[in-house]
Amino acid sequence: MIYTDTRDSSVKVNFRTAVLNGMNAATGGLYIPVEFPKLDKSFTDRNTDPSFRDVAFEMAKPYVKDEIPDNDLEAIISDCYPFTSQVVPIDPTTYVLELFHGPTCAFKDFGARFMARTMSYFNRGEKDNLHILVATSGDTGSAVGSAFHNVPGIDVTILYPDGKISPLQEKQLSTFTGNVRALKVKGTFDDCQALVKKAFVDKDLREKFRLSSANSINISRLLPQAFYYMYSSIVVKNRIPRDSQIKDPAIIAVCPSGNFGNLTSGLIAKEMGAPITGFVAATNANRTVPDWIATGEYNARPSIATLSNAMDVGAPSNYERIKALYTLEEVRSMFASYWTDDQGTIEGIKKCHEKTGYIIDPHGAVAWKAWNDIRGGEMEKLVKGEKGDYSKPGLTANIPAWADKVVSKEAAAIILETAHPAKFGATVVNAIGREPSMPERLEKVMSLPDNAIPMEKDYDSFKSWLVANL
C-alpha cells in the first residue's frame, strides 16, 4: 500500500515510513492511503458475527502488504487485543458500542496498542531510540503510555493541559515511570498539540532525534480504530431484524468528536465496505466542524473547557484528512452534525439513564443526546424546512442522504461509548445522583505517586526540555 500526503499528493511512502514519521515533516501534512480496498462482500454480508480479531486481521492486511507478513500480523493483533469491543442494545433501535474494555478504559486502547506494536516491529535493529511525542485532551495519553510502557527502543513524552482533564485521567497520565513521562502544560489541548506539531517540523530537532507521533495524526492510530466500526456494524446488521423487525435499516454511527480521528476511522471502515449508512458528528461547545458543515467556512479557534473534556479541541487535526478525501457536499451527504453545551451533556446522561437504565459517560452522552434528538423529531423538522440557528445547541441545518430513513423510522444507531463513566464520576453523580462502578484497573492507579513535570506553553521552553532530557 502506498500512502500520500494531505498537502502534497505527489508524496508516495510506504506504511513503515508513514508510521515512524507520524506526519510529513517537509509539508506538515498527514498521511492517507492512496486507496481504500474493499473487503469481500462474503465477509461483510455474513449472517454470523465475526470475531473481532478476524475483522482486525482482514482489514489490516492490505494496508501492511509486503511489509508485515501475515504470520507476524496475526501475532501483533493477538497481542493487541486480549479484550474486545462490546455491542450493548439499550432500546430496539439503539446500540451502545462499549470501547472501554481495554487496560485504560478508553477507546484509544484499540489504536494505541496496534500502533505501539507496529512501531516496535519496524524499529527492530535501529541503533537510536524512537521518541514519541503525543498531545492529549484526556484519554489518548494514558492509552499511549500504557501501550508503549517498557517497550524497548521507544521513549514517550505525553503533553496534557494542566487542570483541564478529570482527576482520574490525570492520575492515569502522571504516574508513568521509565520510558514514559508526562508534561503538564500551562495551556489548552490546542497549545499542547501546537507544541507537538511544531517539534515535528523543527529541522534542528529532527537532526538530533528520531521523532514520531501517537496522536490520531499517525495513520497507525486511525486504521485500527476502523476495526470496531466494521465489527459493530456487522453485529448490528445481524441483530436489527430480531430487535426491531426493520427489514432494510440505515445504520448510523454516532461518534463523539473532538480531534475527529475516531470519526475519520469510521469513514475508512465505510470505504472498506462496512454496512454503515452515515454518521453523526456529535460535539460539545467546541463546534468548529459543525460550523464548517453549516456555513462552508472552516475557522479554527481556541478550545473551550467542557464536561466532555476529551473533545475540547478547537482546531481538529483530522479535519485536514476529511477535507482531503471528500468535498463539503459529500460530507454533508454522509454526516449529520450536532453540538450541545454542558447542560445538554448532563441532560444526556440523565435522560439516557432514565429511559434505558444505561449509565453513559459525558462523551457518549453527547452522542446519545444527538441521536435521541435526531430520531425524536429534529431531523423531521429539517426535512420539512425548519432550520434552526447553528450557533445554538442542536442539529446543524444540513440534510444528509439518509434523513428520510430516520423520518420513516427505518434507522438504527450505534452510539460510540468512548470511555468508562467511572472516569467522570463527579459528572455522572451530578446527573443521576449515583456513582458508576469503578473497574479495578482504575482503582489501582489512584494510589500511585504523581510524576508529571510542569511545562510552559511556549515552544522554546518545550524544545529546551526535549534537548536536555531525550
The span from the CA of 289 to the CA of 250, in Å, is 23
Taking residues 207-234, what's their average pLDDT? 90
What is the pLDDT confidence band of residue 47, given thresholds at 50, 70 and 90? confident
Q: Say yes or no to pLDDT of 169 above 90.
A: no
Phi, psi dihedrals of residue 144, rounded to the nearest 5°: -65, -45
Exposed e or buried b for every residue in 321-341, given b needs 16+ CB within 10 A? bbebbeeeeebbebbbbbbbb
In angstroms, the Cα distances linking 354 to 41, 96, 243, 306, 433 are: 39, 16, 21, 23, 12
Output the pLDDT for position 189.
84
Question: Does residue 383 lie in a domain region?
Answer: yes
Question: Does residue 149 lie in a domain region?
Answer: no
Query: What's the number of domains the chain is made of?
Result: 1
The span from the CA of 77 to the CA of 72, in Å, is 9
Q: Say yes or no to pLDDT of 138 above 70.
A: no
Question: Does residue 170 lie in a domain region?
Answer: no
Spell out the residues 6+ positions from residue 298 whose beta carbon is closer than 8 angstroms to its own: 288, 292, 319, 323
Q: Say yes or no to pLDDT of 167 above 90.
A: no
The residue assigned the cell 470475531 is: 51
Highest mean pLDDT (candidates 15-19, 117-121, 175-179, 365-369): 365-369
Output the pLDDT for position 322.
95
Question: Does residue 380 lie in a domain region?
Answer: yes
What is the pLDDT confidence band of residue 288, given thresholds at 50, 70 and 90? very high
CB 253 within 8 A of CB 236: no
Question: Does residue 12 lie in a domain region?
Answer: no
Q: Say yes or no to pLDDT of 81 above 80.
A: yes
Question: Does residue 262 lie in a domain region?
Answer: yes
Output the pLDDT for position 436.
93
Question: Does residue 406 lie in a domain region?
Answer: yes
Taking residues 318-326, what's their average pLDDT? 94
What is the pLDDT confidence band of residue 197, given thresholds at 50, 70 and 90? confident
Q: Say yes or no to pLDDT of 392 above 80.
A: yes
Give tens-digit pLDDT for 10-24.
Answer: 999 999 999 988 888
Output the pLDDT for position 272.
97
Q: Say yes or no to pLDDT of 216 above 80.
A: no
The span from the CA of 282 to the CA of 293, in Å, is 12
Residue 421 maps to which CATH number? 3.40.50.1100
Output the pLDDT for position 470.
86
Q: Say yes or no to pLDDT of 358 above 80.
A: yes
Closest CA to 274 of 243, 296, 252: 252
Domain span at residue 367?
220-439
Taking residues 72-79, what's their average pLDDT? 97
Give tens-digit pLDDT for 83-104.
Answer: 999 999 999 999 999 999 999 9
pLDDT-above-70 percentage for the chain: 100
pLDDT-above-90 percentage for the chain: 75
Lowest mean pLDDT among 101-105, 179-183, 412-416, 441-445: 441-445
The span from the CA of 131 to the CA of 469, in Å, is 11
Q: Say yes or no to pLDDT of 69 above 80.
A: yes
Question: Does residue 111 lie in a domain region?
Answer: no
